Amino acid sequence: MPTYERGLSSTAIVRGGEVMIFDAGEGMQRNFLKSGIGINRKTKVFITHMHSDHCVGLLGLLQTMSLQNRDMPVQLFGPEQINDFIQGNMKLLNFGLTFPLTISAVSEGMVVEEKDYVVKAKLAKHSVNSYSYCVEERARPGIFYPEKAKALGIPEGSLWHKLQHGQDIELKGKIVKSEEVTGPMRRGRKIGISGDTRPDDNLIEFFRDCDVLIFDSTYGDDHSEKAAENMHSTAREAAAIAAKANVKKLVLTHFSARYEDASVLVREAMEIHPNVIAAEDLLTIEVPYE
């Protein structure tokens, strides 16, 4: 439940001109507006599972978008009940939308495939059907070396631009490959979001080499039995998954209201993983390229 200091689950990944929202707990739209992200940019929403602290805020978010006269489409992804939840509430609450909304049921595997990134889903271990998500950028072309292009007699301009972006070109009847004038391909960034889950070995490979992993840490060591009973993770268990998956930065989240100060959870997790922080409302994390 929310506290005086903390709202419910919702994470926004801002990438270029697009925002991807993961979960929409009750009242999330207020912090979304505070964040300054903007209500009318390209938007995808992903729901991990159909518990109210992860999805009820969708209703207010969609209505707020309409009241702001949004006209761009919104793509919504979630468990199979998500369509009935949205359509039923729109009918009961008698509201419509000013923009197209597409709703897609999620299953394990590829959820979204874009030109330069993908979003994948993996079943988590929770009391209801729940999914973890990964946003993974495709590899980028290597560093462009102008001196190599000049040595091959390639004139500056559009041909250089194509080579910089990984495209091969034709010059005087000869094919010049991008790799001839660029360095090795560079890995993209990867962000994982666990949703609510018990620690699960299947998630280790799924979250392998994440730059940032946002993981369920509802309890500390003092309530490890409750974590197992309620199908959540402790901070220490989250850190163990992150360490085994070679995660760079672990963000603990979804704290029980009994923890006014999450620093105790961070301390427990840091006994396992060296780079741990606690999520908080309106926290912003920059995720740089290597």
Catalytic positions, written as ranges: 53
Instruction: Give CA separation, 32 vs 17, 56, 70, 145, 173, in Å.
Output: 16, 15, 15, 41, 54
Q: Which two tokens stand for residue 137?
A: 């950028």
End-to-end CA distance of the chain: 37
Cβ distance 32 to 61 under 8 Å?
Answer: yes
CA torsion angle for 236, 241, 245, 251 (degrees, to 10)? Answer: -60
The torsion angles phi and psi of 218, rounded to 5 degrees, stand at -65, -30
- Give me the long-range contacts of 270-276 (CB less than 8 A, separation at least 24): 270/239, 271/236, 271/239, 272/236, 272/239, 272/240, 272/242, 272/243, 273/239, 273/240, 273/242, 273/243, 273/247, 275/248, 275/249, 275/250, 276/235, 276/239, 276/242, 276/249, 276/250, 276/251, 276/252
Cβ distance 243 to 222 under 8 Å?
Answer: no
